[in-house]
Amino acid sequence: MELDPLILSRIQFAFVVSFHAIFPVFTIGLACFIATLETLGFMTKNPVWIKLSTFWTKVFAVVFGMGVVSGIVMSFQFGTNWSNFAQASANFLGPVLSYEVLTAFFLEAAFLGVLLFGRDKVPPGIHMFSAMMVALGTIISTFWILSANSWMHTPAGVDLRDGVFQVTSWAEAIFNPSFPYRFLHMGVASFLTGSFVVAGVSAWYLLRGREVEANRKALSICLWFLLLIAPAQAVIGDFHGLNTLQHQPMKVAAMEGNWETSRQVPLLLFAIPDQENQTNHFEVGIPGLASLILTHEWDGEVPGLEEVAVDQQPPVSIVFWSFRVMVGLGLLMIAFAVAGLLLRPGGRYWRTNWFLQGLRLMSITPFIAVLAGWFVTEIGRAPWLVYGMMTHAEGLTPSLTGSMALFTLIGYVLVYALVFSAGLYYLMRVLYVGLEDHEESGERDTKRPSRPFSAADVPFEFDTAGTGNTKSTHQGGPSSWSS
């Protein structure tokens, strides 16, 4: 069988990016939460805030470590697998990515060192400042990377001359048409992720009656914040959708499973898109609603996939279903945020069992929603690498062979699988130890005679007895925090 370097490179990039993306969406929100805790601790002198901050900083460090190393891979992959694209787009992407390094990465890295190791070495005010700088770094980083990514969806401010993009307006290129929506949508998604993880973990601690005072405070902050941002995300998403309809109509057509350009298009709740026959099976929809949402008129005209040749259409099924997963989870998030408000009188939110159990499960949903959204936008761009201007095939490295691409694809999958399962395991360990005297519990473990890992003496509840070694069995995600 002939190995196709194009397909393999696309799989490789999709894998690396998807894997990488789940870390920043968590750390951006968490960094802001930690900065808030540090500020509250500094202002009120109440040690509970510092206790919370110290704990969440440990979680942050593990996740940030994985995010950093997987991110380094991406900055080199443009060159290894997509060198034609790199060369063509360097005039714009080069400066933008460099600005990201200069204004964000250095800031994060330097002040993270102080945040993690400097509590006894710098004054409290400087420590708080370091937490703020780390948070600021993650937000600046989001700004640049989403500018670069949005430009690939809605290229602006450039001319394509002799196969190379020449920048004609930096302002238009950086603040390209889809950038503001994408930046807001992704930024809020990060806050949702951070909030739901913190809320879920706090709920789990409350269920077990651990560090009740601190975790009630943490949960309360998260629920107020979620009440604000979960509904806001729906509104931002709607505006983003309108923007996409304007600039990438075929992506929206795929999201809606809409084949024919027509009026009074129904909003499909369920359907099985059939790209071969250019139709849907088993449609269940609400008449006219898609037209209403997309054009804000009942009989607004919505373009269908038929407007372009079949080979210019994105893979409809993936886009269609990913979109439904994202929206469905978003609605669920809003429901939980509202439930938090209704349960607030008398502090029922930290006593209601079903609510806490539900929050615990909800902590994984933002990751799924973000990945689903990512699939919608990136796969929906196909077959374009730079929308309307450069295809995936044109961007590929000329000298790349299928076997090389396959070799590194397998390599990255193995490396990431190993690192991720270990990271998840240590994350669980940090969470299990919790806010209490972690020094002591750590000590207890180290004093044990070291032996090759066997599951037998793993003290964690989430390690359901005797399933192989301790390293590779913890892929259950946060839902397996308690058995």
Partner 1 sequence: MEQLTLPLIWAFIIGFGVIMYVLMDGFDLGVGILFPFAPNEESRDIMMNTVAPVWDGNETWLVLGGAGLLAAFPLVYSILLPALYLGVFLLLAGLIFRGVAFEFRFKANRSRYLWNWSFAGGSTVAALAQGAVVGAYIEGFETANGVFVGDALDWLTPFSLLTAMGLLAGYALLGATWLIMKTEGQLQEWAYRITVPLLMAVLAVFAVISVWTPFVDEMVRERWFSNLTVIWVLPAFSLGFAFLIFRSVRKRLEGLPFVATMGLFVSTYLGLVVSRWPYVVPPDYTLWDAASAPESQLFLLIGLIFVLPVILGYTAWTYWVFRGKVRAGEGYH
CB closer to partner 1 out of 91 and 261:
91
Stretch binding partner 1 (CB under 8 A), from 240-248, 259-267, 381-389, 443-451:
443-451
Residue 23 lies near partner 1 (rule: CB under 8 A): no
C-alpha distances in Å from residue 202, one per residue of 214, 218, 306: 9, 7, 49
Number of residues in contact with partner 1 under rule CB under 8 A: 80
CB closer to partner 1 out of 63 and 229:
63
77: Cβ contacts below 8 Å, ≥ 6 apart: 12, 13, 16
- Nearest-CA neighbor of 337 among 196, 236, 238, 206? 196
- Residue pair 135/32 in contact (Cβ under 8 Å)? The answer is yes
What is the helix (H) or strand (E) element at residue 280, kind and residue range? strand 279-286
Query: Rounded to the nearest whole angstrom, what is the least distance from the CB of residue 415 to partner 1 in the complex?
Result: 5
Residue 421 lies near partner 1 (rule: CB under 8 A): no
Residue 471 lies near partner 1 (rule: CB under 8 A): yes
Query: Rounded to the nearest whole angstrom, what is the least distance from the CB of residue 427 to partner 1 in the complex?
Result: 9
CB closer to partner 1 out of 109 and 242:
109
3-class SS at 208?
Answer: coil
Residue 401 lies near partner 1 (rule: CB under 8 A): yes
Residue 331 lies near partner 1 (rule: CB under 8 A): no
Residue 79 lies near partner 1 (rule: CB under 8 A): yes
- Residue pair 103/140 in contact (Cβ under 8 Å)? The answer is yes
- Nearest-CA neighbor of 77 among 154, 14, 23? 14
CB atoms closer than 10 angstroms to residue 144 = 22
17: Cβ contacts below 8 Å, ≥ 6 apart: 74, 374, 378
Q: Using the rule CB under 8 A, which residue among 21, 37, 48, 97 binds partner 1?
A: 97
- Residue pair 170/158 in contact (Cβ under 8 Å)? The answer is no
Sites for partner 1 among residues 134-193 (CB under 8 A): 164, 166-167, 170
Q: Using the rule CB under 8 A, which residue among 1, 121, 281, 309 binds partner 1?
A: 121
Query: Rounded to the nearest whole angstrom, what is the least distance from the CB of residue 6 to partner 1 in the complex?
Result: 14
The pair of structure tokens assigned to 147 is 């500018």
CB closer to partner 1 out of 15 and 224:
15
Report the C-alpha gap between 251 and 395 in whole angstroms.
21
Residue 107 lies near partner 1 (rule: CB under 8 A): yes
Residue 455 lies near partner 1 (rule: CB under 8 A): no
One-letter amino acid at 187 equals G
Residue 117 lies near partner 1 (rule: CB under 8 A): yes
Residue 476 lies near partner 1 (rule: CB under 8 A): no
319: Cβ contacts below 8 Å, ≥ 6 apart: 251, 254, 255, 375, 376, 379, 380
The pair of structure tokens assigned to 481 is 């925090």
CB closer to partner 1 out of 401 and 483:
401
CB closer to partner 1 out of 38 and 100:
100
Sites for partner 1 among residues 43-72 (CB under 8 A): 58, 61-62, 65-66, 68-72
Report the C-alpha gap between 317 and 156 in whole angstroms.
29
Q: Using the rule CB under 8 A, which residue among 310, 341, 415, 417 binds partner 1?
A: 415
Residue 460 lies near partner 1 (rule: CB under 8 A): no
Residue with tokens 């004093």: 447
